[in-house]
Chain A
Amino acid sequence: MLRQISVISRWELRRTLGTMGRGVLPAAIILFVLLILASGFAASSGVHLQDGIYRLGTDNQEAGQMIATDSRFTVFTDDGASLWENREFFDIIILGSEVYVHDDEKGRAALGALSLVYESYTSLINAEEPDLYAAYPLWIDRRYEKSLLDFTATQAGQRISPVPEERAPVPERPVVPVATPDVTIPYEPDQLRAEISRSAVQDDQIRRYTQTLGFESETGTFRTPAQLAPPLPFDSIILIFVFIFPLYFTSQFFMMSIMNERIERRGEILLSTPYRPSAIILGKALPYFLLMLAISGLIILISSLPPIIILPLIPVILFFLAAALVIGMLARSFKELSFLSIFFSTVATSYLFFPSIFANVHVIALVSPLTLIVLEIQGDAFTLADYIYSTALFYLTSAILLYAGVVNFNEERLFSFHHLIPRTIEFITAGISTKYTLPSLFSLGALVIPFVFMVQLMGLVFVFNLPMPLSLLLLIGFAAATEEIAKSIGIYALAKILPGGLGWRHVIFGSGATALGFLAGEKLLLFATIAQVTESVFGSILFLSLELLWMPFLLHAVCLGVVAIALKAGGLRMYIPGICCATVIHAIYNLAVIGVIP
C-alpha cells in the first residue's frame, strides 16, 4: 500500500510539473515580482478606496491642513459666510474652532472620522510635551481575571450579574488574597512617548493589519485612557490572507488534477492498474499535502511565529484536500468546478474566520482552529482539550469526505456527467448496500453527524449576536431543518435506488436504524468534544438533552418516519413537504425541551 502511494505520488508530481512547468513558471515569477512591487507601492501610497467620501469646509487654515492629512476628507477653505451659505454641500463645517455637522447618517459618520483624526493629532502633539505626566496624567494598568463561571452564562452578551443594589454584594466563595498592584510605571517616559505616537497613527488600515502578527504593546499592561479598547475585530482577517488563501490556492491544483482524470476518460489508465482507489487518491493527494505543509511552515518561519501553530493548520489542510477531491469528482464542467470551489471556499473561510473574531471575547470562538492560532500568537498557549475541541470536526469531516471519494472512485462515477444533485445522491448511495440496508443506514446516520455539527455551529455563530428570543427561535428552526435534511438523506437515497420504492419494512426499520445511528454519532461526538457548548441554552437546542436517551430517539425516529411515509406515499416529489413536516415536529419538540411550550 505504501509503495503504491509513493509510486502514484511521484507520477503525479512529474505530470503536474510537466504541464505546469513550461509556460507557467516564468509567468509566475514575473507575477510574483510584480506582486511585491505592487504591495510596496500600496504600502507607500496607502489604500485609496475611501478617498474623498466626506466634504469639509473651513475658514481655519491650520485645521484644514491638519484634517487634509486624512484622505477621506476633501477640504475646502473659504470665508465663513460663503461656507455657511453652501452648508448643504458640506458634511462638516468648521468656523474658527467650532465644528458644525450636517444632521444625517453621513454627517455623523464624518464627525466620527473627524474626531479620530483630531484625537490622533492631539496625541502626537501631546507626546512631545516635556512634562509627559502633565499631558498624560492618567495611566491605566490593565489586568485580566479568569472567571470562575463558564461560557454557559454569558452567551449572547446576555446579562447574568444581578442588578446592582444599594448594598455591596458579598462573595459566595472563599476570598483569596490578591497582591496589591504596584504604583509605579516600569517604563521610561521616552518609551511611553514612542508608544503614544505609535498608537496615535495605528488606525491606519494597512498598518493595523500588519501589526497583528507578533505585535505587542511596547508598554505592557499600561495604557492611557485613549488607548483602552477591546481587541479590534478584523485583525484575524490577516490570518486568512496569510495562511488560508495559499492553502486554498494549492488545493485547487489537486481539485484540477482530479478533474483532469475525468476529462475524456483519461483516468481509465489509472483505474486499469492494479492499484487500489485509496492508494491512487492518497498518492495523488500526498504531494499537495506536503506542499501545503511546506508553504505553511515557510510562512510561519518568515513571520517568525511560534512553530506550534502548524498543528491547528493540519486539519484545515486535510479538510481543503478532502473537499477538493469531492468537488473535483462531482463537477460536470469547468464553470461548475469554479463555482463549487468558490462557494466552498467562501463557506469554509467564513467558518474559519468569523468565530475567530471573538477570540478574546467568547469561548464560541474555539469552534474555529484559527482561534487557536490567534491565541497562540497572543501568547496564550492552547491546551490539548482546546485543540481537540476546535479540530475534531475538521478531522472527522475530512475523513468522511475522503472515504466518500474512495468509495466512488470507479469508472461508473468518474465518467458520468449527471446533474449536480442527482450526482451527489449517487455518491451517497455508494455507501448504502441494498443487501445490508439497516447497518448501512445506521452508519450513514452516524457519519452525517460531524457535518450537521459544523452547519449548526455556523448557525450558532451567526445568530448569537441577535437579541435573545429571536436568536433562539431562528436557531431552533435552523437546527431542526439541518438535522432533518441530514438524517433523511439515507432514506431518500434508498427510495431512489430500490427498484420498487420503499417498502413498509424500510419505512419502519430504516427510520429506526438511521435514528439510532444519528443518536449514537451525536452522543459519541458530544462526549468527546464540545461539552462546553452543549451545557448552554443554545446547546440544549442544538444537541438535545443528554439524560433521557429514549426521548430524542423517539423524536428522530418519528421525524424520519414522517419523511419516509411521505416518500412511500407520494414518491420522491413528496420529499420536501415531508422535510417541512418533520422540521415543524422537531422544532416543537425542542421548544418543549427548553420549556417554552409546557
Chain B
Amino acid sequence: MKSRNIGIIARKELSGIYAEKTIVFAILLQLFIALFSSFLMIGLTSMYDPDALAGYQGVEYGIGYVGEEGDLSRIIDDRRDLALYNLDLDSAIALLKERQLSAVIWVPEIPPDDPGPVIVTLYTLQNDIQAAVVEVKMKEAFLVYEEELRSVRSNRLIMNPIQLNFPDTGGRSNYYEFVFGLLIPLLVFMPAIISAALIIDLITEEYQSKTLETLLSTTVTYGEMIWGKILACILIVPVQSAAWLALLWINGIAVQNPVQMLLHVIAGSMVLILIGALVALHYRERTSAQFVFSTAIVVVIIFIMSVPYNPLNLLVRLAVGTIGSLHWLILAGVVAVAVLLSVLLNRYAAYVSTLPLREG
C-alpha cells in the first residue's frame, strides 16, 4: 500500500467535499444546533429557574388571598416579590382572569396542629408564561409554610432522616450541568458521526456511479482507495471538534483538557468510521448501507452510554477535570478496537476487491 496514493485519494475526496460545499452544510448544521443551545439556555433557564433572569427580579406580582389571615398570609406578605390582597373568591377569580392578579389562593380555616392536612387551593392562569414564574415563587412560600407546620407537628414524627444544613448562598447553577454534561459531548462528538455517514456515501458512490472501474485502472489499488477515503473522513473530525472547543472558549466556557478530549474523539470516530466502511463494503449500495449503519449506530451508542466510564462520559469528565490518568487506559482500549477493526477491514476489502464490479 503506497502512502502517496492514499494521500492522493484523500486529497481528491477533501477537494470534493470542499467543491460541493457539503462541508458548509455540515458547519451550518452544527451552528444551528449551537443556536438551539443558546435558545435553550436563555429561554429555559429563565423560565424554569426564574431567578436566573434578572429582569424578573424587583417585580411584584399581585396575589389574591381568600380566607382568614394567618401564617401563610404573613409569609407571602413578607416577600418583596409578592403583594397580597384580601378578597372574596368570586372577585379574586374575576381579577385573575382579567390579569389584574397573578394568582389566587383559597385558604380554609384549619388549625396548624390539626390531625388532618392543611389544604390550600392555588389558582393560576392556564397556558401562561407569567403563571409559570409565579408558581415557582408561590412554591417557595409554600415550602416555608410547610416547614413551619411540620415543626408544629414534629412531636408526631418518628423517622429520623440524616440532617444536612445547606449554606445560604443564593445561586444554584443548573446551566453548568447542561453545558458540560450534555452540550459539550454532543457538539464534540457530532463530527465523528457525520464522518462515519460520509464514508458510506464515498464508498457506495464509487460503486453506484460506476466510477470505481476508472479509479482502479490507474495505479491506485483497492485498499489504497478505501484507506484514502478513511483518511479524508478522519482528517475533518478534529478540525470541527477543535473549532467547537474554541468557539465555546470564546463564549467563556473553557474545558479543562482539550487535547486529551480531541484524542478521544479521534479514536472514537475511527471506530465509527471503520464500522461505516465495513457496512458500506458489505452492501455497496447506499440505501441499505445507510439504513443498517444508522440503526447499528443507535444500538452502539445506547449500549456505550449505559456502560460506566464510557468514552462519552470520559469526554465530560475530561472537560470538567475530574478524571485522573485512568482515561489513557480507556483510550488505549478504544485504539485497540480500532486496530482490530482495521485488520478486519483490510481482510474484508481484500475479499470484496476480488468480486466482480457489476452484479447481475
Contacts and interface: CB of A to CB of B under 8 A. Distances in A.
A100 B302 contact: no
A161 B100 contact: yes
Contact of B99 (A114, A131, A140, A161): A161
Contacts of A27: 292
Contacts of B163: 97
A358 B169 CA distance: 30
A138, A148, A175, A183: residue with the most chain B Cβ atoms closer than 10 Å: A138
Given A23-B288, A339-B22, A108 B94 contact: no
Contacts of A138: 117-118, 120, 142, 145-146, 149
Contact of B116 (A31, A133, A146): A133
A180 B61 contact: no
Given A228-B142, A334-B204, A173 B94 contact: yes
A31 B20 contact: no
Contacts of B62: 161, 164, 169
Contact of B48 (A144, A163, A233, A338): A233
Contacts of B322: 52-55, 74
A53 B181 contact: yes
Given A24-B288, A101-B167, A339-B26, A230 B306 contact: no
Contact of B130 (A136, A157, A419): A157
A596 interface: no
B354 interface: no
A249 B21 CA distance: 24
A24, A109, A249, A257: residue with the most chain B Cβ atoms closer than 10 Å: A109
Nearest to B157: A134
A3 interface: no
B139 A118 contact: no
B172 A230 contact: no
A47 interface: yes
B201 interface: yes
Contacts, number: 411
Contacts of A85: none
A586 interface: no
A502 to B, nearest CB: 27
A192 to B, nearest CB: 9
Interface string B64-107: 00000000000000000001011101110111111111100010
A466 interface: yes
Contact of B295 (A31, A39, A42): A31
Contacts of B108: 183
B29 interface: yes
Nearest to A164: B83
Interface stretch (A341-349, A394-402, A477-485): A341-349
Contacts of B100: 161-162, 169, 171
Contact of B127 (A256, A354, A361): A361
B39 A462 contact: yes
A499 interface: no
Given A130-B158, A462-B35, A185 B119 contact: yes
B162 A63 contact: yes
Nearest to A161: B99
Contact of A252 (B110, B165, B290): B290
Interface residues of B, number: 142
B61 to A, nearest CB: 7
Contacts of B127: 147, 360-363
A105 B173 contact: yes
Nearest to A358: B129
A48 interface: yes
Q: Is the interface of B mostly helix, strand, loop or mixed?
A: helix
A338 B197 contact: yes
A61 to B, nearest CB: 10
B286 interface: yes
A108 B175 CA distance: 10
Contacts of B115: 133
B209 interface: yes
Given A99-B165, A129-B159, A145 B90 contact: no
B146 A224 contact: yes
A50 B101 contact: no
A2 interface: no
A332 interface: yes
A162 B59 CA distance: 11
Nearest to A51: B313
Given A339-B25, A339-B26, A176 B90 contact: yes
Contacts of B246: none
Contact of A154 (B129, B172, B295): B129
Interface stretch (A119-127, A515-523, A536-544, A571-579): A119-127
A153 to B, nearest CB: 7
A465 interface: yes
A361 B295 contact: no
Interface string B280-297: 001101111011101110
B222 interface: no
A106 B121 CA distance: 38
A256 B198 CA distance: 15
A171 B98 contact: yes
Nearest to A32: B295
Given A159-B59, A339-B29, A137 B150 contact: yes
Nearest to A55: B322
B212 interface: no
Contacts of A332: 20
Interface in B187-208: 194, 197-198, 200-202, 204-205, 208
Contacts of B185: 49
Given A130-B158, A154-B128, A169-B100, A230 B36 contact: no
B298 A35 contact: yes
B128 A105 contact: no
Interface in B13-69: 16-17, 20-22, 25-26, 28-29, 32-33, 35-36, 39, 42-44, 46-48, 55-56, 59-62
Given A49-B185, A63-B164, A177-B90, 15 more contacts: A19-B288, A20-B291, A53-B177, A55-B322, A106-B176, A108-B176, A112-B173, A125-B159, A137-B149, A149-B99, A168-B85, A175-B94, A181-B106, A229-B139, A230-B135
Interface of B: 16-17, 20-22, 25-26, 28-29, 32-33, 35-36, 39, 42-44, 46-48, 55-56, 59-62, 83, 85-87, 89-91, 93-102, 106, 108, 110, 112, 115-133, 135-136, 138-139, 142-143, 145-146, 149-150, 152-154, 156-159, 161-167, 169, 171-177, 180-182, 185, 194, 197-198, 200-202, 204-205, 208-210, 282-283, 285-288, 290-292, 294-296, 298-299, 302-303, 305-310, 312-313, 316-317, 320, 322-323
15 contacts: A28-B291, A52-B323, A53-B177, A53-B322, A105-B173, A106-B173, A135-B157, A140-B122, A171-B91, A171-B94, A225-B145, A253-B291, A256-B287, A350-B36, A361-B131
Q: Which 6 A-B pairs have the closest CB atoms?
A: A465-B43, A109-B176, A112-B172, A225-B142, A164-B83, A334-B201
